[in-house]
Amino acid sequence: MNSMLGWLNPVTLFREQVEIAKKLCKGAEVLAGIREEELTADTAPKEEVHRDGKMRLFHYLPAVAEPLTTPVVIVYALFNRYYMIDLQPDRSLVRNLLARGLDLYVIDWGYPDGTDRWLTLDDYVNAYIDDCVELLRQRHGVERVNVVGICQGGVSSLCYTALHPEKVKNLVTMVTPVDFHAGRSLVPDWIQAVDVDVAVDALGSIPGEMISLGFLLRSPFERNLRKYMDLIDIADDRDKLLGFLRMEKWIFDSPDCPGEAYRQWIKDFYQENKLIKGEIDLGGRVVDLGGIKTPVLNVYAEHDDLIPKESAAALERYVGTDDYRVCSFPVGHIGMYVSGRVQRDLPRVLSDWLHEHD
């Protein structure tokens, strides 16, 4: 079979075609029975407790009678939707953390439009996040809350903790870039050459599709062709197909990014690497990572091709706390949310650490 040009064997080819045809027929049957409603993610019960503009703060209903005293607020990235952390019931970081006794809140940035084009990172950090934290302090009667920042949300959380240390009890950063020039990755390399001023002046808010395209092009054949070719293998399995479709929905559900926030994100963070230099200015105050004295748990992916592990792991060198712990998983960026191993281990690591530090 594996002889030279063995694929030309007509019997093999015929068998393959028959097998593919069978799978496609079965897949079409399964697909025809699936409706958009079944792709709904973010199914853990929750209530809206705060709203400001497009931003909403949700409270997940606790799954245990006496959850952890200090509430946890999850700050997700601006570029994707937060429901990746609760994509489906059996692959849900949220449900796993709730089951382990955490009292969870999540910030939903919504879908910014033209009216949000002038929002800056200062607004996100010092207004939106701060309002949410303030609300939780009052709601729970606590001085400080736990903050979990994911991806770009991790950077916002770092900035917030550095600027408002008195309000953060523990900080968890997940797949968060810190040294934007460390490690090799296509996207950061591309971003270095981007004229972000022209982009923002021309487009206002940056279309989510454009950002999404940049992510997809970093491995064009794998992310745009092979995954659809491999779909044949799971097309006849309803559960797997549902999982694939949910992921597909998340990938292309990219909100626009407010122009001014995007300008600062690209220029100050990616191009000038100001975070580690202590030169980020938010609302007239300088972000000094060395000023973070709260306990920090840094979680990153070892095979992340979007945020190189060197970039995430660099936090250790710049953060001012003595209570710093790191935890890495042998997965890629998306694997941090959906990998079976991460789903099994990450909630335990997170909740144990937060319980220890409560």
Partner 1 sequence: MSVLFELPFDLWRRVMSSSVGAEGDGSGHDQDGSDVVDVPLDLVRAVSEMFELGAVLLRWVEGLGQPAFDALRAAPWSGGQADDAAQRQAGRLRLFWDAYASVFGELLQAPGIGPSRELNDTLLRWFGAWLDLSRASSHQAELLARTWLTVQERFPVELLGRSLRGEGPATVRELLGLYMEVAEEAFGETFSTQEYVEAQARAGGTGLAYRLREREVADVLAKVTHLPGPSEVDEAHRNIYELRKEVRSLRRQLLETRAQGTNRAPRPRSAGGGGPGPGPTVSDTVQGDGEKEG
Does 193 contact partner 1 by CB under 8 A? Answer: yes
Does 213 contact partner 1 by CB under 8 A? Answer: no
132 is catalytic: no
Tokens of 356: 């220890």
Whether 187 contacts 181, CB under 8 Å: no
Q: Which stretch binds partner 1 (CB under 8 A): 15-23, 157-165, 248-256, 324-332?
A: 15-23
Does 190 contact partner 1 by CB under 8 A? Answer: yes
DSSP E strands in the chain: the ranges are: 46-52, 55-60, 72-75, 86-88, 91-92, 104-108, 145-150, 168-174, 280-282, 285-287, 296-301, 324-329
- Name the residue nearer to partner 1 (CB basis): 14 or 252: 14
- The DSSP line for 326-340 is EEEESS-TTHHHH-H
Q: How far is the CB of 50 from partner 1 (least distance, A)?
A: 5
Q: How far is the CB of 298 from partner 1 (least distance, A)?
A: 27
DSSP 61: P
- Name the residue nearer to partner 1 (CB basis): 33 or 283: 283
Does 53 contact partner 1 by CB under 8 A? Answer: yes
State the binding string over 18-47 for partner 1 (x if CB under 8 A, else -). Answer: --x---------------------------
In angstroms, the CA 347 to CA 206 distance is 33
Q: Which stretch binds partner 1 (CB under 8 A): 83-91, 222-230, 269-277, 319-327?
A: 222-230
In angstroms, the CA 30 to CA 285 distance is 55
Comparing CA positions, the residue from 117, 127, 128 lying closest to residue 256 is 117
State the number of CA atoms in the 13 A half-sphere of 104 facing the CB: 29
**Which residues form the catalytic set?**
151
Q: Using CB under 8 A as the criterion, which residues of the chain lie in contact with partner 1 when the complex forms?
A: 1-7, 9, 12-13, 16-17, 20, 49-54, 66, 69, 114-119, 123, 127, 131, 135, 137-143, 186, 189-190, 192-195, 198-199, 201-204, 217-222, 225-226, 229, 232
